[in-house]
Structure 1
Amino acid sequence: MSFSEPTAQGAADYRAAEPSGAVAAEIDAEVTQYFLVSARCGCFMQAARSLNVKATVLRKQLALLEEQLQRTLFQFQGSALTLTGEGQQLHAQLIARSHERKLPVVEQPLIRLAVAESILHDILGRDLVSLLRRNASVRLDILSIDSDMSLRAISADVVVWLGDPDSPLPGPSFAVTEPRALARLDYLPHIAKRYSRVATRPESVDDLEDFLLVQWQQDRQVESFRPWNALVDQRLAGVVQLHSYELMLEMIRCSACIGLLPQYMSRFDRGLIELPGLFGQPMQRQVWMAINAQSRDEAQVQMIVELIHSTFDERRDWFDI
Structure 2
Amino acid sequence: MPLMETSGRQQMADYRAPVAQTTPWRTLATGLDPELAQAFRVIARCGCFMQAARSLNIKATLLRKQLAQLEAQLQCSLFSHSDKGLALSRDGLQLQAQLIALAHERDLPVIEQPLIRLAVSETILHDILGRDLVSLLRRNASVRLDIISLDSELSLQAITADVVVWLAGTDSPLPGPSFATSEPRRLARLDYLPHIAKRYSRVAARPDCLDDLADFMLVQWQHDCQIESFRAWNSVVDQRLAGVVQLHSYELMLEMIRCSACIGLLPHYMSRFDRALVALPGLFGHPMQRHVWMAVNADSRDEAGVQMIVELIRNTFDERREWFEG
Q: TM-score range, shorter-chain basis?
A: over 0.9
Secondary structure at 2:21 match in 1: helix
Secondary structure at 1:121 match in 2: helix
| Amino acid in structure 2 at the alignment position of 1:209 | A
Structure 2 CA distance, aligned partners of 1:155 and 1:113? 9
8 Å CA contact 2:197, 2:258 repeated in 1 = yes
Q: 1:31 is matched with which residue?
A: 36
Q: 1:243 is matched with which residue?
A: 248
Structure 2 CA distance, aligned partners of 1:223 and 1:100? 64
Cα pair distance change 1:111/1:225, threshold 3 Å: same
8 Å CA contact 2:16, 2:77 repeated in 1 = yes
Cα pair distance change 1:213/1:3, threshold 3 Å: farther
Question: Aligned residue pairs: how many?
Answer: 315
After TM superposition, give the deviation of residue 214 of structure 1 in Å.
0.2
Cα pair distance change 1:273/1:24, threshold 3 Å: same
Q: 1:120 is matched with which residue?
A: 125
Secondary structure at 1:99 match in 2: helix
Structure 2 CA distance, aligned partners of 1:102 and 1:220? 56
Is 1:293 aligned to residue 298 of structure 2? yes
Q: 2:171 is matched with which residue?
A: 166
Deviation digits for residues 200-230 of structure 1, max 9, x if unmatched? 0101011100000000000011100011001
The match for 2:319 among 286, 300, 314 is 314
Secondary structure at 2:154 match in 1: helix
Structure 2 CA distance, aligned partners of 1:199 and 1:5? 70
After TM superposition, give the deviation of residue 122 of structure 1 in Å.
0.2
| Amino acid in structure 2 at the alignment position of 1:309 | R
After TM superposition, give the deviation of residue 24 of structure 1 in Å.
3.0
Structure 2 CA distance, aligned partners of 1:17 and 1:71? 13
Cα pair distance change 1:159/1:217, threshold 3 Å: same
What is the correspondence of 1:251-270 to structure 2 with a 5 Å cutoff?
A: 251-270=256-275
What is the correspondence of 1:1-321 to structure 2 with a 5 Å cutoff?
A: 15-16=20-21, 20-99=25-104, 103-321=108-326
Structure 1 CA distance, aligned partners of 2:137 and 2:107? 24
Identity between Structure 1 and Structure 2 (%): 72
CA RMSD of aligned residues (A): 1.9
TM-score (norm 2): 0.92
| Amino acid in structure 2 at the alignment position of 1:70 | Q
Structure 2 CA distance, aligned partners of 1:163 and 1:61? 49
Structure 2 CA distance, aligned partners of 1:17 and 1:248? 69
Gaps of 5+ in 2: 1-11
| Amino acid in structure 1 at the alignment position of 2:308 | M
Secondary structure at 1:106 match in 2: coil
Gaps of 5+ in 1: none
After TM superposition, give the deviation of residue 4 of structure 1 in Å.
8.6
